[in-house]
Amino acid sequence: MEDKRNLDTRAKALIDSQPEEALKIYRQIWDNYPEQFNAYNGMFALKAGRKIPNVDIDFPSKIACKFPDSDMVNGIFGWLIFDRFIKGKSEAEILSYETSITEQLNKISQKNLREDNSYPCPFSIIAFKLADAFSHNMFNAPKVNRILDVINAQYLSIIPNTITTEKFGEKEQASDLEKYFALKTKALLKQNQFEDCISLSQQALEELDRFHYDNDLWFKMRIALCEEKLGNYEASEHLFKKLLSSKAGSSKWFLYRDIAELYFEQENYGKAWKFAVDAAFYGNEPKFLIGLYLLQAQILYKLDRPEDGKLLAELIAGILQEEGWRNKQEYNKLFDFYSIDQNDVEPLKKIYRKAEDFWISERYKGKPVSEGEIVWIHQRGKFGKIQSLGSNEVINFNKKDFRRRQRNLHDLNGARVSYIEMPSFDDSPIAENISILDNPTKKGREKQENVGKELKGKVKNVVPFGVFVKFKDLGDGLLHKSKLPNHLKNDFEQAFTEDQEIEVKIIKVTDKGIQLELIE
């Protein structure tokens, strides 16, 4: 029988070139010299195993169990499990390996990244990847909770992660600890563990210095939701209103939805409707707000306005039809109530435009309409100021607050607009539902773009100093007698008649109008 030293030497030499053969030799050492198989043998065996695609983890797992206190064995085994079940795998594949991953996690030690963050921890990476797979699409709270239970939060890094993207360069992401708090509090809330969720959310707010993806709002919102579920309605209402009065929270549709649900449960349907309308106002794609539309229909029914609720029912039917989603029981009840055939509704875009008009009329009901002039626009084109007509009062506005979407705000400098004054998150006035009444800046720019163009127009009238020519889209222009050919300068009044079609060239645009030149 070949001695252990020779076997070890041969195996090491084959790790890079023939890892399968190297692992077989280490297995031979394991079987023939069990007492002499040491942590170094285990480390090199695992190195060979990492180089083998879809390696059988039975032998590597035995090595990890034999040397639980060896950092070098533990670390390499962790990366072997990462390579085998996580690296380059889709979420569906990771989910299919759930049993194997959870079994092997018990054999890997978690590295304390608070003490040493110079190298990543395979244990926490594997655990988070498995939790992520269960949190996407349908969030599986029991699974996520169980996976995160094996993580020691005190060992997780508090330093934000960074990734490098082609478009944005280096981008900062949540730290491991922030990610843990975000996933864990969500899972606790979904499992109705309200007191634990409050406690952990408060811990997150106390321990984290920096937040990403609005996580600070989510932690506060989960506390408010848990207080509501525990029957502490006043505390919940106070927390929600505090969130809505913050700059970050004032535009988050889901906060308005949640406080609308709170008032609905309290049977305060008037307030519930106000916040439900605001939720739709700040919302995003209709398919993500289908639950909100159901809540709105329910509120309107309670307010004795069932006829208005039909539009929301049609909107839900339109979303289901466009997305190809199956009905839920509560949707069927709604469709039955309004006698709606889900397969015979108007196109979603058309229904949504009607719904937008409805929400706007509800949000601004009874609010006076003001007029003013846009007097300043920020260089980045995101917001600006309107001076109220007939006064020196100036009010702020944001790009999103125009009734019709605007591409370039700089085209609107000097435009006359109508708007409705509303309170901002800090109670300062802000202009919303802005409509453009007249925009001389844009008209002037469009006219300037026509300089040099040759086009046809019709004679509007003839005057002693020239000929006025009318155009379909540009208004009127002047063909001055000085710009006429010599043979027409003296008798042009007889040469041109009203509605006569002539061809001209635009040579200049000024504040006084369009100057033309005759083309013969």
Confidence at residue 40, expressed as pLDDT on a 0 to 100 scale:
97
* CATH for the 252-363 domain, from 1.10.10, 1.25.40, 1.10.760, 3.40.50: 1.25.40
Confidence at residue 472, expressed as pLDDT on a 0 to 100 scale:
80
CA-to-CA distance for 58 and 47, rounded, in angstroms? 15
For residue 141, pLDDT beyond 70: yes
**Among residues of the chain, what percentage have pLDDT more than 90?**
76
Residue with tokens 């000929």: 467
Strand bridging mode 416-423 / 394-398 = unpaired
Confidence at residue 447, expressed as pLDDT on a 0 to 100 scale:
60
CATH topology of domain 369-438: OB fold (Dihydrolipoamide Acetyltransferase, E2P) (2.40.50)
Task: List the one residue out of 65, 60, 61 whose CA is nearest residue 45.
Answer: 60
Question: Pick the residue with more confidence: 483 or 23?
Answer: 23
Residues paired with residue 259 on neighbouring β-strands, in sequence order: none
127: left (phi over 0), alpha (psi -120 to 50) or beta: alpha
Query: Mean pLDDT for the chain?
Result: 92
Give pLDDT tens digits for 334-364: 999 999 998 889 999 999 999 999 999 999 9
- What does the pLDDT average to over 105-110? 95
* CATH 2.40.50.140 at 450-518, yes or no: yes
Coil vs helix vs strand at 269 = helix
- What does the pLDDT average to over 488-505? 89
For residue 319, pLDDT beyond 80: yes
Confidence at residue 473, expressed as pLDDT on a 0 to 100 scale:
72
- What does the pLDDT average to over 69-77? 96
If you write DSSP's letter for every residue of 123-159 in order, what string do you get? HHHHHHHHHHHHHSSS--HHHHHHHHHTS-GGGS--S
Confidence at residue 442, expressed as pLDDT on a 0 to 100 scale:
59
Task: List the one residue out of 311, 230, 298, 228 whose CA is nearest residue 269.
Answer: 298
> Binning pLDDT at 50, 70 and 90, where does residue 448 land?
low
- What does the pLDDT average to over 145-160? 96
CA-to-CA distance for 31 and 20, rounded, in angstroms? 17
For residue 137, pLDDT beyond 80: no
Both tokens of residue 507? 């040579």
Q: Residues of CATH 1.25.40 domain(s) within the chain?
A: 252-363
First-to-final CA distance of the chain: 110
> Binning pLDDT at 50, 70 and 90, where does residue 490 land?
confident
Coil vs helix vs strand at 326 = coil
Give pLDDT tens digits for 39-65: 999 999 999 999 999 999 999 999 999
User: How many distinct helices (H) and strands (E) make up the chain?
Assistant: 22, 12
Confidence at residue 343, expressed as pLDDT on a 0 to 100 scale:
85
Task: List the one residue out of 393, 429, 397 whose CA is nearest residue 413.
Answer: 397
For residue 171, pLDDT beyond 70: yes
Both tokens of residue 36? 């002499």
User: CB-based contacts of 96: which residues, under 8 Å, 6+ apart?
Assistant: none
Confidence at residue 441, expressed as pLDDT on a 0 to 100 scale:
65
Residue with tokens 């003839």: 462
Amino acid at 204: A
- What does the pLDDT average to over 279-305? 96
CA-to-CA distance for 507 and 516, rounded, in angstroms? 6
CA-to-CA distance for 246 and 494, rounded, in angstroms? 72
- What does the pLDDT average to over 162-171? 76
Task: List the one residue out of 202, 289, 283, 278 whose CA is nearest residue 239.
Answer: 202
Residues paired with residue 416 on neighbouring β-strands, in sequence order: 373, 438
Element housing 509 (H / E): strand 501-510
Both tokens of residue 246? 């913050």
Task: List the one residue out of 275, 437, 256, 252 whose CA is nearest residue 362.
Answer: 275
41: left (phi over 0), alpha (psi -120 to 50) or beta: alpha
Question: Pick the residue with more confidence: 266 or 38?
Answer: 38
- What does the pLDDT average to over 154-172? 84
Q: Residues of CATH 2.40.50.140 domain(s) within the chain?
A: 369-438, 450-518
3-state secondary structure 425-483: CCCCEEEEEEEEEECHHHHHHHHHCCCCCEEEEEEEEEECCEEEEEECCCEEEEEEHHH
CA-to-CA distance for 418 and 364, rounded, in angstroms? 13
Give φ, ψ of 516 to 5 degrees.
Answer: -120, 165
User: CB-based contacts of 486: which residues, under 8 Å, 6+ apart?
Assistant: none
Give pLDDT tens digits for 458-486: 999 999 999 999 988 777 899 999 888 88
For residue 404, pLDDT beyond 80: yes
Confidence at residue 446, expressed as pLDDT on a 0 to 100 scale:
56
Confidence at residue 443, expressed as pLDDT on a 0 to 100 scale:
56
Give pLDDT tens digits for 186-226: 999 999 999 999 999 999 999 999 999 889 999 999 999 99
Q: Which is it for the CA torsion 42, 47, 52, 57, positive or negative?
A: positive
> Binning pLDDT at 50, 70 and 90, where does residue 136 land?
confident
CA-to-CA distance for 475 and 506, rounded, in angstroms? 12
Give pLDDT tens digits for 406-443: 888 988 989 999 999 999 988 899 999 999 998 876 55
